[in-house]
Structures are given as structure tokens and as C-alpha cells.
Amino acid sequence: VQNLPDGFTTVIGNHEVRLRPDESLRIALSRALLRNPSLLILEEPPAPPTEAETAELDAAIQRVADGRTLILLPHRLATLRSADKIVLLHEGRVHAMGTHAELIQSSDLYRHINYVRFNPFRHVSVS
């Protein structure tokens, strides 16, 4: 934030200032802390560039979530595993709710999504 031309009020996405997804999330978290909302909705960046940045973002999200309701749209399995409650939406309706472990046991759709989305071999080509 300190390196941005207008600090917290810098318009993100204009031609002068372009940020990586993890940087945009940091700005959003900083702005949220200033407003102190009781509900916060965030989309997790697909993958921060380094493990250190991933750890920093996880810690920042935890700090922001403390004492408020956080709806987080995850992109990483670790995020799902650490959630207090997961709400699985399908075709506009709540399909299932629970922890990661509960949904792995009880929801075929959740298991399928986890397999397809988080399978470590999904990008491996077989020659």
C-alpha cells in the first residue's frame, strides 16, 4: 500500500497501476480492515507466486476474518481443509454443508469436485 501512488485510494486496474492477484487481495484486506465490516466476501488468488507469500496471505486472511463472518471463494485445497464450514452450491442451491472431512464422507459431488480440481496429476501428460 505504501508503494502505491495514492496509497489506499489508488484506483486499481487503471492503466497506471496493475497488480498481481495476491497484491490485489492484500489491498482489499487493508481496505476491509479500515472499514471493519461484520461480513467480508473475498476470492482467494489462484496461487501466490511463492510459499512465503502464500503463508503471508493465509495469515492476513486469518487476521481479517477474526471476529467477523468471512465468505471465501477458495482456489486451494489447504483453504478448504482449514475452513470452519463449507457451503457447496450447485445449480443455485445449497447442495451440502459441513467441514472438508464431513463433505468428503457425505457428498459425492464434493468428492468429485475435489478430485477434479485438486488432483495433483491433472496436468500431467502421458506420452
- Residue owning grid cell 495433483: 120
Burial class (CB in 10 A: 0-12, 13-18, 19+), 17: middle
Res. 12: pLDDT tops 80: no
Band of residue 125 on the pLDDT scale cut at 50, 70, 90: low
pLDDT tens-digit map of 68-108: 898 999 888 888 888 999 999 999 999 999 999 999 999 99
